[in-house]
Structure 1
Amino acid sequence: MMSKKFARRCAVALTVPALLVTAACGSEDDKEDSVKVSGKAGEQPKVSVGKDAKPPKKTVAKTLSAATGKEAKVAKGDFVRLDIVAKTVGGQSSQDLINTWKPDPGAKKGAARTQMVEQIGRESQLPGAVTKELVGKKPGSRVQVEGTAQTLFGPQAAQMGMDPKQGMVWVMDIVSSTRTDKDASAKGDQESVEDGMPEVEVREKKPASFTIPKGEKPPKKLRSQKLIKGDGPEVKPGEGLVAQYTGVAWEDGEVFDSTKPQEKKKGEKEQPQNKDGVTAFQVGTKSVISGWDKALAGSKVGDRVLLVVPPKEGYGSPEALKQAQQSGQQHPLAKKNLVFVVDVVDKV
C-alpha cells in the first residue's frame, strides 16, 4: 500500500548515466575521511563528499551522535521513523539520492515533511544493510553508513540497473522507534456499519471478510467510519501509523492486500505475497494513497476504521495517472473502488 517514491528516486538517481562511474567512499586505510558530516543530531546535517574518494572494501558504519535518553534501544523487528541524507560518492560531483530534510515540492509552510518509516529486518524502501546499522542505537542518535551499491543493495543493485561500484553515503537520524506485537489488533465492541457501507468481519489469523451491499453503487466520495474508537494517542500528520489492514475491491470483493496471511485461490499459480503481521507508514505526507491520508491522519491508537476509497482518492488519482502516463504502466486497481478495514495499533 505504501508509495515507493523513495525507492524509485534512489533507483532513478543511480541509473542516470552521468552517475554510473567507479565510485567511492572513504576507505578504512585513509587517514582523512572522504565524507564529512557536520551539524547536531535532530538538525539538517551538512554532508560534504571528497572528489578523490575511494570505495570501502566493505560497508563502513559509525555512530556520529549517540542518544542517552530513556527510550529503548532499537532492535530487529522494531519500527523506526528516520530523517535521511543519502548521497552518491565519486564522480564529478555528489548527487542527492534522498534528503528528507527538504520540504516536499508544493508543500505549505509548516507542513509535515516526508520521512522514512521502516521495520528493522524487513526490507521495504531502504536496503537492510543500511537499516541494520541502527540496531542498538536509541532515538535521537545519528548514524553514518558508507558502501557501494553492491555492498548495500546486494544482487538487487544489478536488477535495479545500478552500477555495483557506485559509492554512496547514508546519514540517518532516528526520530522515533516502537516495538509492536505483529498480531496486534484493535480491541472493543465493533459498532454497526452505516447505511451503504460494507459489512466487515475482522478475523484473527486470516484477512478480514467483507460483504459488499448488493445492488449498491459505491459512494462517489471518500467515506470512512470508526467501528472501534480507541483511547490511545493521536497519530498526527507526519507521524508513522502502525496498522493491521485488509483491502478488497468493491467490484468483486476479492482481497488484494492484507497484513494477514492470504490463501492461494483456485487457479492461481503462485502463493500471494504475504506480509508478516503489522506494517507501518507515514500519514499526512502523500506517502500513501490520498484516501488513507485523509481518513487516517488524526486517528487514535486503538481505532478500527472502515474506508471506501473512490479511484480518484486511490490508485486512479491525478498524480498516479500522470505517473502511469510517464511509465506506460497503469496500476491494476486504478479504476477500482477500494474498501479497507484498518486497525490503528501503534504509532512511531
Structure 2
Amino acid sequence: MMERPLTSTRGLTVRIRPLAALSIAALSAVLLAGCAGSAPGSTPAPTDTSAASDLCAVAVPEGDVAASISVSGEVGELPTVEFAAPLEFTTAERVVAVEGDGTQIADGDYVTYARVVYDAATGEQVQAAGFDDAPLPPQQVTIGSGADAYFGCATEGSRLVVITPESQSGGALVNVIDVLEVTPADAWCAATEPGDVFPTVEYSADGIPTVTIPEGDAPDGVQLEVLEEGDGATVEPGDTVTVNYTGVKWSDGSVFDSSYERGEPATFQTTGVVAGFKRALEGQKVGSKILVTMSPSCGYGEAGSSEHELAGETLVFALEIIEVTEQ
C-alpha cells in the first residue's frame, strides 16, 4: 500500500507500499509495468520558505524538447500525444501544457491524477491509467519525495508534460499527467465517528479480538471508534509505534493478517503505513484499543489501480497500541 503500510520483517501481509506512484527514483509498477525512470537531473534549489513556492522551485525545469510535444484533448480524458521519435534529450524537462484554475498543490497535499506514458525513442505508448473508472491511488506530494519534481506546485485542472532521460533502470520516457484533484494533507482520509453500519469486536479471555462485519455497504473514508482509551503517551506524526492488530476484509469477513495470531506485535513508523492506519494511530494514547474501517482509497487503492492483493478492499482493523517512541 502505499506510503508504506504496515511493515514488519515477519509475516505482515499489509506490505510496504511502493514509494510515490510517481517516484522519480522508481516509477510505480502500476503505471509502467517494469519501465522505470531515474532522477531527472538537477532541480533548482528552493527560493523561499512557503510550501507552494518550494514546490515551484523543485519542479523539473522547462525545456524546448518538452514544449515541442503536441498534446490535445480535455483534461481528465486520454489525450492525443504527438512527437517526432526518437526524442533527443539528456536532462529532464517539464512544461505545463494546460494550466488549471483550481487549488494549487502545497507541500503534503494529496493529488488525484491520471497519466499516460510513451517511449521517447519509439513513440509507442507504454501505459495509461487514471482516465477511466479505475482511478490511480492518490499521490502525496512532499518536498524531496520525487513526485515533487513531476507535479511541482501545479494547480488542479492542469496538464503536465514531463520527459525523463534514459537511465540504468529504463529508457527515456514522455509522461503526460493530468492533475484531477488536490486535497490538503489534513483533510485526506481524516477519521470520522462510526456511522450506522459499523463492525463490532469481541475479545477472548486471552485478549484476542474477533471482528464481526455487519450487513450493509462499507463506509467511505476512515471511520474510527476508540474501544478503550489508554493512559500512556500520545502518538504523534512520525513516531515509531508497536501495536497488536487483526485485519479483516469487509467483503467476506476473513482475517488477512494478525499479529495476535503470530504471537508478536509489529513495530513501524506512522509515516510508513497506509493513510487509514496512520489516521488510526496518530493522536491516540498508548494502551488504547481501536476499531477502524478504511475504504480502498485510504488503504491499498481501488481494484485495477494496484497489483496489491488487498486492492479494492475495505479493510477493518482491531488494534491495540502497545508502545510509542518519539521521532
CA contact (8 A) 1:201 1:208 kept: no
Match of 1:330 in 2: none
- Which residues in structure 2 correspond to 1:38-187 (within 5 Å)? 38-55=72-89, 57-69=90-102, 72-90=103-121, 93-100=122-129, 112-121=133-142, 128=146, 131-150=148-167, 158=168, 161-162=169-170, 166-181=171-186, 186=191
Match of 1:193 in 2: 201
- Which residues in structure 2 correspond to 1:1-348 (within 5 Å)? 1-2=1-2, 4=18, 7-8=28-29, 10=32, 12-13=34-35, 28=63, 34-55=68-89, 57-69=90-102, 72-90=103-121, 93-100=122-129, 112-121=133-142, 128=146, 131-150=148-167, 158=168, 161-162=169-170, 166-181=171-186, 186=191, 193-194=201-202, 197=210, 204-205=235-236, 207=241, 209-210=243-244, 222-223=252-253, 248-256=258-266, 258=268, 260=270, 282-285=301-304, 287=306, 289=308, 291=310, 293-296=312-315, 305-306=316-317
CA contact (8 A) 1:88 1:96 kept: yes
Match of 1:19 in 2: none
Question: Per-residue deviation at 1:54?
Answer: 1.1
Structure 1 Cα separation of the partners of residues 36 and 189 of structure 2:
38
Secondary structure, aligned partner of 1:181: helix
Deviations 1:52-104 (A, max 9, x none): 4211x4322111111224xx3111211111100111101xx22333301576x
Closer, same or farther: CA 28–144 of 1 in aligned 2, 3 Å: closer
Structure 2 Cα separation of the partners of residues 290 and 340 of structure 1:
24
CA contact (8 A) 1:37 1:46 kept: yes
**Structure 2 unaligned spans of 5+:** 3-16, 22-26, 38-61, 204-208, 212-226, 280-297, 322-327
User: What's the TM-score once normalised by structure 1's chain length?
Assistant: 0.49
Secondary structure, aligned partner of 1:67: coil
CA contact (8 A) 1:59 1:145 kept: yes
Secondary structure, aligned partner of 1:94: coil
Structure 2 Cα separation of the partners of residues 67 and 119 of structure 1:
19
Secondary structure, aligned partner of 1:282: coil
Question: Per-residue deviation at 1:142?
Answer: 0.8
CA contact (8 A) 1:34 1:53 kept: no
Closer, same or farther: CA 208–134 of 1 in aligned 2, 3 Å: same
CA RMSD of aligned residues (A): 4.6
Secondary structure, aligned partner of 2:173: strand
Deviations 1:308-330 (A, max 9, x none): xxxxxxxxxxxxxxxxxxxxxxx
Closer, same or farther: CA 292–84 of 1 in aligned 2, 3 Å: closer
CA contact (8 A) 1:248 1:257 kept: no
Count of aligned residue pairs for this structure pair:
223
Letter in structure 2 aligned against 1:61: R
